[in-house]
C-alpha cells in the first residue's frame, strides 16, 4: 500500500498494480471514449500483450503503475514514469500516462486525490516537472489539469506507426 | 556508430552519446532560445548534475541519447526513450526529448535525417507510436513535425515543481 486517498466520507487505497489487476485495468482502458476502439480483452490470447507490457513496467523501477482497488476491481489507474534527461540541469521529469477513473467514481475527488499523490511522489523523487499530454477532444480533462496547476504550454504531437 | 545520416553532398555520423560529449550537448541546450535561462556550464561543479543524468540515461537500455559528432563537437542531439504501457494493447511508445541542431547546421536536412532515423528505430523496436511535445512558441518546429507526419492531436501540459 502506498497511500490512503481521501474522498468525501471515505478513503480509497492506492498501491502498485499486480499482474492480477491487468484484466481490470484493461476494462477501464476499454470503457474510455477514445480507448474503446483500441483496447479490450475477450480471450486469454487478447490478454497476453497486456501481461507482457505489465512485465516490462513492473520490472523497471522508473515506472510505477498505480491502482486504487475495490476488492478484485480497479476504481482508478495511472502510470507514473520517472525519466532522466540532460535538459534543465539534468532534471528528472515525472510523466503521467493512461489515467482512468471508473465512471461511478468520477466527480468524487478520486482523480484529484490520485494526481495529488503523484505530484507529491514527483517531489519526493526530486523531479523538476510533471508532464502529460491529453487529447484535445477531452475538454473536461483540460479544466481538471489546469485546476491542479498544469500549464498547456506545449503541443502534444503523435505519429502512429503501422505494424 | 548507428548510422550515416545523409545531407546534401555529405553524410554525418550518428552514435550513442558518451560522457565526453556531455559538455558539448549542454552547450547546444544552452544555445537554444528557451534553454538559455535553464542550462549551461561554466564550472566543473555545474557539469556534475549533467553527468549524473547522463549516467542514468546511459545505464538504461530504454533510453538512447544520440549525437551527430563533428570531431570533439556535437552538431545535433536527441534523446529517444522507449516506454512500455498497457494502453493500445500493451504498446511500446517511442518518446523524443531534447532535440537540438547547431545553428550552422539548420535548414540543411540534419534535423529531418535525425528524425527519420529515430522513426525507423521506433519501427524496428515495434513501437505503436512516436510522441513528443514542443513549446507552442516554436512555430517553425510545428511545421517541421507536421511535414514528418506528426499530428498535433494533444495538449502538452507541464507542472513545474519548486525544488
Q: Does B23 touch chain A (CB under 8 A)?
A: no
What is the interface size between A and B, counted as CB pairs within 8 Å?
211
Q: Out of B57, B81, B163, name the one closest to residue A128 (CB).
A: B163
- C-alpha cell at position B150: 506528426
Q: Is A85 in contact with B136 (Cβ distance < 8 A)?
A: no
Contact call for B35 and A87, based on CB within 8 A: yes
Q: Which of B35, B17, B14, B28 is nearest to B115 (CA)?
A: B14
Q: Phi/psi at B24 (nearest 5 deg)?
A: -70, -35
* CA-only gyration radius of chain A, Å: 16
**B163–A132: do the CB atoms touch at under 8 Å?**
no
pLDDT digits (tens, 9 = 90+) for B106-132: 989 999 999 999 999 999 999 999 999
At residue B44, the pLDDT reads: 81
Instruction: Tell me if B136 and A155 make a contact (CB, 8 A cut-off).
Output: yes
Mean pLDDT of chain A: 93
Instruction: Please give chain A's pLDDT, 163 residues, in tens.
Output: 899 999 988 999 999 999 999 999 999 998 876 666 778 877 888 899 999 999 999 999 999 999 999 988 999 999 999 999 999 999 999 999 999 999 999 989 999 999 999 999 999 999 999 999 999 998 888 999 999 999 999 999 999 998 7
Q: Is residue B26 within 8 Å of residue B33, measured between CB atoms?
A: no
Mean pLDDT computed over every residue of chain B = 93
Q: What is the mean pLDDT of residues B9-23?
A: 96
Mean local confidence (pLDDT), B120-148: 94
What is each CA distance from A89 to A127, B38, B46, B73, B103, in whole angstroms? 11, 7, 8, 20, 21
Question: Cα(B99)–Cα(B134) distance, rounded to whole angstroms?
Answer: 10
Percentage of chain B with pLDDT > 70? 98
What's the pLDDT score for residue B89?
Answer: 92
> Which residues 6+ apart lie within 8 Å of B150 measured at CB?
A157, A158, A159, B130, B132
Nearest beta carbon to residue A160 from set B29, B56, B129: B129
Amino acid at each position: 500500500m502506498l497511500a490512503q486517498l481521501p474522498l468525501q466520507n471515505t478513503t480509497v487505497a492506492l498501491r502498485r498494480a499486480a499482474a492480477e489487476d491487468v484484466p481490470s485495468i484493461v476494462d477501464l482502458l476499454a470503457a474510455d471514449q477514445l480507448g474503446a476502439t483500441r483496447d479490450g480483452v475477450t480471450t486469454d490470447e487478447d490478454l497476453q500483450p497486456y501481461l507482457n507490457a505489465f512485465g516490462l513496467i513492473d520490472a523497471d523501477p522508473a515506472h510505477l503503475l498505480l491502482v486504487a482497488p475495490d476488492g478484485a476491481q480497479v476504481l482508478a489507474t495511472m502510470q507514473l514514469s520517472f525519466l532522466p534527461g540532460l535538459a534543465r540541469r539534468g532534471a528528472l521529469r515525472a510523466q503521467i500516462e493512461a489515467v482512468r477513473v471508473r465512471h461511478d467514481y468520477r466527480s468524487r475527488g478520486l482523480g484529484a486525490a490520485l494526481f495529488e499523490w503523484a505530484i507529491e511522489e514527483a517531489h519526493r523523487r526530486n523531479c523538476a516537472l510533471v508532464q502529460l499530454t491529453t487529447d484535445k477532444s477531452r475538454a473536461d480533462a483540460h479544466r481538471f489539469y489546469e485546476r491542479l496547476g498544469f500549464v498547456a504550454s506545449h503541443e502534444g504531437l503523435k505519429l502512429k506507426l503501422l505494424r
